[in-house]
């Protein structure tokens, strides 16, 4: 075990991915010698050479298109998009190409070797284009897997699983807690299962679900609620596509109440999918309406970032509303 922050855990996972598979390549804008604008790829070029970890020209559609070609040939392509806000130029390559490669060819070809890593989320004074949480654009796309870790230990295990999964994965990294989230991380090579949620804290009165940096908000909200004698069950979804409906439904059948928290805007956010699926699966068990505590249906603001974010207080209020329903 070593103490690492979330970035160090990602760097460690990439190091293991490159050392354990000579077909694995890391690339993107500024990931080479410089080691990435967040330093996620620090020292990898030094260790593995320019042919394994390298800069690309500044073109997101090029980066993902290039990754598709690499993976179609059988390489393990670990691409970085500098900010999730800038993944949209590559949207066509991801949605029309990456996601449909295996299906449209009848499995004659596939790009399962792709992982796209990208820092996402607000809380860093990032304004419109350094704060977005675009996961729901991708959970609407059959053929992709979408993964979000919440802490260093999770980040390493999930990233290694994403890189080795035989399907394309978009790996969203919560940049607000890149350095703030510190924890013990096993030194060895390990993987955490994709498609499996984790019950982080057991409770009996209400279920709270979130992913990534928002796990902090629901944990704090649960602590506040506990002082009122409310027992919250906390679930980290970890994988958004395909998501673990059964673990969540099991929890809601027990507690009878559900609050979904995500940073992305409310309308058509992934929370809507969860709410619809859980009311379908748990209709007779629900004691109150499923509530969503989310970002607002506005572009991500700069000055009023704190007001925008679905923090622990907003979550706590939702808990009280749900319990008193």
Which residues carry out catalysis? 60, 130
Return phi, psi of residue 42, to 5°: -50, 135
The single residue among 11, 82, 93, 315 that binds another protein, judged by CB under 8 A, is: 93
Figure out which of the listed residues 2, 20, 47, 59 binds another protein, where binding follows CB under 8 A.
59
- The secondary structure element, H or E, covering residue 187 is none
Among 73, 204, 267, 298, binds another protein (CB under 8 A): 73
Task: Pick one of 45, 68, 139, 255: the residue that binds another protein (CB under 8 A).
Answer: 68
User: In 165-297, where does DSSP find H-type helix?
Assistant: 214-227, 245-255, 270-282
The least CB distance from residue 238 to another protein, in Å, is 15
Q: Minimal CA–CA distance to 263: which of 80, 147, 123?
A: 123
Geometric angle at alpha carbon 108, from 24 and 138, rounded to 5°: 65
Q: Toward another protein, which CB reaches closer, 27 or 172?
A: 27
Token reading at 64? 């993902």
Looking at the Cβ atoms of 72 and 259, the one nearer to another protein is 72
The torsion angle over the Cα atoms of residues 218, 7, 83 and 267, rounded to 10 degrees, is -10
Helix (H) or strand (E) holding 317: helix 312-323
Residue in 155, 185, 154 with CA at minimum distance from that of residue 4 = 185
279 scored as a contact of another protein (CB under 8 A): no
Q: Please report whether residue 51 would count as binding another protein according to CB under 8 A.
A: yes
Q: How far is the CB of 244 from another protein (least distance, A)?
A: 9
**Beta carbon nearer to another protein, 68 or 154:** 68
CA distance 163 to 242: 16
**Sites for another protein among residues 146-175 (CB under 8 A):** 166-167
Among 3, 47, 104, 306, binds another protein (CB under 8 A): 104
Q: Rule CB under 8 A: say whether 56 interacts with another protein.
A: yes
Instruction: Tell me how far apart the alpha carbons of residues 198 and 99 are, in angstroms, rounded to a whole number.
Output: 26
Question: Can residue 20 be called a binding residue for another protein (CB under 8 A)?
Answer: no
Residue 188 CA to residue 312 CA, distance in Å, equals 34
d(CA 128, CA 300): 5
| Binder among 242, 256, 299, 301 for another protein (CB under 8 A) | 242
Which residues lie near another protein (CB under 8 A)? 25, 51, 56-57, 59, 61-62, 64-75, 77, 89, 92-93, 96-97, 100-110, 112, 142-143, 145, 166-167, 195, 242, 245-246
């Amino acid at each position: 075990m070593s103490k690492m922050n979330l970035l160090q855990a990602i760097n460690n996972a990439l190091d293991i991915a490159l050392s354990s598979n000579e077909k694995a390549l890391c690339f993107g804008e500024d990931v080479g010698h410089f080691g990435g604008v967040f330093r996620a790829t620090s020292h990898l070029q030094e260790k593995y050479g320019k042919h394994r970890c390298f800069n690309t020209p500044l073109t997101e559609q090029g980066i993902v298109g290039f990754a598709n070609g690499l993976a179609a040939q059988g390489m393990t392509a670990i691409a970085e998009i500098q900010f999730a806000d800038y993944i949209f130029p590559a949207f066509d390559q991801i949605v029309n190409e990456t996601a449909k490669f295996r299906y449209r060819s009848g499995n004659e070809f596939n790009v399962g070797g792709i992982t796209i890593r990208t820092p996402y989320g607000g809380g860093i004074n990032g304004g419109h284009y350094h704060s977005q949480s675009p996961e729901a654009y991708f959970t609407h796309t059959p053929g992709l897997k979408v993964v979000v870790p919440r802490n260093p230990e999770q980040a390493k295990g999930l990233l290694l699983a994403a890189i080795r999964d035989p399907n394309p994965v978009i790996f969203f990294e919560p940049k607000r807690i890149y350095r703030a989230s510190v924890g013990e991380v096993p030194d060895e090579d390990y993987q955490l299962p994709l498609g499996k949620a984790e019950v982080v804290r057991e409770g009996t009165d209400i279920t709270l679900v979130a992913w990534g940096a928002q796990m902090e908000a629901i944990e704090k909200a649960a602590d506040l609620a506990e002082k009122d004698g409310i027992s919250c069950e906390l679930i980290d979804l970890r994988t958004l596509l395909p998501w673990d409906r059964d673990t969540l439904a099991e929890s809601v059948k027990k507690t009878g109440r559900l609050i979904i928290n995500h940073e992305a805007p409310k309308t058509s956010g992934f929370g809507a999918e969860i709410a619809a699926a859980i009311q379908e699966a748990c209709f007779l068990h629900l004691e109150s309406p499923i509530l969503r505590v989310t970002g607002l249906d506005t572009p991500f603001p700069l000055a009023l970032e704190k007001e925008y974010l679905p923090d622990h207080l907003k979550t706590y209020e939702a808990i009280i509303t749900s319990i008193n329903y």
